[in-house]
């Protein structure tokens, strides 16, 4: 039986939407008891869609293994119960509107006065202080503010990333920040205050295009599914579909020309002698590749690429991802219970010889309120 390293730890999460629930769910996967505080109508992410047998795909993804407790945080009784829970907790996570936690007496200083060993985590759009502190922040808007849309899309039009990438980035940094603080608390015996903003989390992921522009003097262009600075790298049409391939160095380029294109003359063309030149002459390069690849089936192109050791991929939709043979062969799927039946989900991506995980049910709104309040009463 593998160890659940966070078993015995309690997380109280004042969470909604994506970022904070994602951080808290990963703590639950490692064994932490996560008490999710909701209003009587529930986390509004419960209503984002109804695609998982009537439940929201977002909510099923982000909330397994948690206990749902409904509290009226506009009432004195609700706040008093919340403070009692925080007093006994190891971690408090919140992504409420700026100032909301402080108005309840659960800002960082007040919370650590209640519980000096507490790890207090705040996730926000733009961070504490500055002109943007109280500005509303949703994923697409933060993608805009971080410059992501300036490098994503086609030359004609920008495009948002198709997943909630700013929320995911913030949730991941909050999760790793909690793990770091837990290690440090084991050394010092003291809690900590952690702040993560969506802008700064996504900004870290934007450092390569930032450095390219800051020191190169020009903005990295939007290039659709092609790589902005490497060629050939991206989608190419075969006779019956599309194949993605990626050339990383000159050795691979020569093998690609001789073994995939089977046209060594392309490999000696002066226009394509270096990656920078291939990017410069991308139009002519693609025409030469198209002349060969468009006459071959997808399976033939993939077979040649594999034989030559050239990185490649199929363009899969979600149904094809669901049936991905590698995930099936490695046993990466597990059912998670929900109020409307099992939901097939990927197990956590980190594998360990010693550390396990759990994937407990997704809670209904307030499912654990009576149980948690009864336990709290017993300890008082």
The 10s digit of each residue's pLDDT in 275-331 is 999 999 999 999 999 999 999 999 999 999 999 999 999 888 899 999 999 999 999
SS (H, E, C) 110-177: HHHHHCCCCEEEEEECCCCCCCCCCCCCCHHHHHHHCCHHHCCECCCCECCCCCCHHHHHHHHHHHHH
Within the chain, all domains assigned CATH 3.30.1540.10 are found at 233-316
pLDDT over threshold 90, residue 224: no
Q: Is the pLDDT of residue 75 over 90?
A: yes
- pLDDT at position 184: 97
CATH match of 10-206+331-379 with 3.90.650.10: no
Which residues share a beta bridge with 311? 246
Q: What is the mean pLDDT of residues 62-69?
A: 97
Q: What is the pLDDT of residue 149?
A: 94
Nearest to 305 by CA among 267, 259, 266: 259
CATH 3.20.20.105 fits 233-316, yes or no: no
pLDDT, tens digit, 9 for 90 and up, residues 148-159: 999 999 889 999
> Where do we find the tokens 């629930």?
21
Q: What pLDDT score was predicted for residue 158?
A: 93
- Cα dihedral 232, 233, 238, 242 in deg (nearest 10): -160
Q: What is the mean pLDDT of residues 246-274?
A: 93
Q: What pLDDT was estimated at residue 349?
A: 95
- Percentage of residues of the chain with pLDDT beyond 70: 100
């Amino acid at each position: 039986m593998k160890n659940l390293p966070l078993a015995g730890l309690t997380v109280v999460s004042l969470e909604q939407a994506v970022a904070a629930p994602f951080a808290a769910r990963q703590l639950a996967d490692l064994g932490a008891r996560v008490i999710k505080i909701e209003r009587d109508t529930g986390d509004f992410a419960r209503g984002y869609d109804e695609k998982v047998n009537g439940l929201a795909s977002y909510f099923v993804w982000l909330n397994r293994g948690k206990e749902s407790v409904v509290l009226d945080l506009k009432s004195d009784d609700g706040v008093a119960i919340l403070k009692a829970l925080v007093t006994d907790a190891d971690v408090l996570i919140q992504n409420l509107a700026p100032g909301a936690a402080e108005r309840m007496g659960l800002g960082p200083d007040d919370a650590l006065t209640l519980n000096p060993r507490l790890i207090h985590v705040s996730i926000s759009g733009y961070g504490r202080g500055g002109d943007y502190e109280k500005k509303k922040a949703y994923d697409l808007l933060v993608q805009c503010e971080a410059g992501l849309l300036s490098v994503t899309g086609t030359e004609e039009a920008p495009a948002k990333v198709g997943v909630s990438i700013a929320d995911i980035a913030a949730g991941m940094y909050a999760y790793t920040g909690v793990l770091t603080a837990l290690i440090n608390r084991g050394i010092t015996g003291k809690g900590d205050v952690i702040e993560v903003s969506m802008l700064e989390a996504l900004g870290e992921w934007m450092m390569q295009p930032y450095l390219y522009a800051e020191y190169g003097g020009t903005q990295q262009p939007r290039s659709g599914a092609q790589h902005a600075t490497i060629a050939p790298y991206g989608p190419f049409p075969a006779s019956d579909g599309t194949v993605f391939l990626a050339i990383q160095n000159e050795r691979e380029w020569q093998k690609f020309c001789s073994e995939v294109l089977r046209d060594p003359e392309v490999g000696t063309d002066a226009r394509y002698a270096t990656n920078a030149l291939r990017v410069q002459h991308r139009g002519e390069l693609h025409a030469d590749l198209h002349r060969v690849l468009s006459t071959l089936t997808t399976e033939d192109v993939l077979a040649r690429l594999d034989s030559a050791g050239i990185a490649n991929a199929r363009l899969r939709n979600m149904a094809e991802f669901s049936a991905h043979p590698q995930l099936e062969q490695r046993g990466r799927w597990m059912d998670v219970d929900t109020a409307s039946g099992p939901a097939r989900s990927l197990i956590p991506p980190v594998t360990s010889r010693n550390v396990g995980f759990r994937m407990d049910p997704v809670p209904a709104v307030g499912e654990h309120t009576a149980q948690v309040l009864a336990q709290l009463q017993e300890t008082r």
